[in-house]
Amino acid sequence: MRNAVAFLYIAGMVVAPFAANAASVTYDFTGTVTEALGDYGSVALGSTVTGTYTFNLGNGVPTLIGGPGESQGTVGSTTANWTAANNGGSYYVATPSSAYVFSSTANFSGFSYNTGAPGAYQDSTYVSGSLAVSPSYTFEASEKEAPTSGTSTGSSFFLEGSSPEWGSDGLPLSICHRPAYRSQGVIGILEPADDRRNEARA
């Protein structure tokens, strides 16, 4: 299969005003490419990546078949794991939904990415906060849109630190990379065209 993936370490950000869970909130980010392969091989290391992460946790609904993307817990909790998810498509035996919990855009070295239309086979968006092994906390956001079982686009990012990286509304306190924390983003395209690997890290 053909894979095109971009990994982005967040180097800086501008935050929109926080809002209630039912509202859409967008963060602007800037990152730097640290590795590029395949179709992304022409991207120079150190190139700037700009884009947005948009959250609408009010779109989270219970997942029909369960699994890691299932809505659970209390959004924003710092004492128990939580997830806000909205899944659809034939994989979930549900109608595809454009009411995304998370979506993104990115632009770098002539490449651009936008969260795609809901996939007929699978569309899945979620945001979660988890307590792995205390005092380790992880905030993760992901979206995947698959028209077929072998074709998809998607993006995600995570923050990991020694304290919760989200507020009581479930939104990240920051998406910038700080020395005491790990943060990384990914953007990918999967096409059943060939078996070449295309990858860019930032």
Q: For 25-34, 36-45, 135-144, 161-170, which range has the lowest pLDDT when averaged over its residues?
A: 36-45
**Is this structure's pTM higher than 0.75?**
yes
Cα separations (Å) of 56 from 40, 45, 61, 180, 188? 30, 33, 12, 28, 21
pLDDT digit string, tens, across residues 138-183: 889 999 898 888 788 888 888 888 888 888 999 888 766 554 456 6
Sort residue 120 into left (φ over 0), alpha (ψ -120 to 50) or beta.
Answer: alpha
**8 Å CB contact between 7 and 199:** yes
C-beta neighbour count of 91 within 10 angstroms: 16
pLDDT digit string, tens, across residues 3-25: 444 444 444 444 444 444 457 88
**8 Å CB contact between 142 and 126:** yes
**8 Å CB contact between 5 and 200:** yes
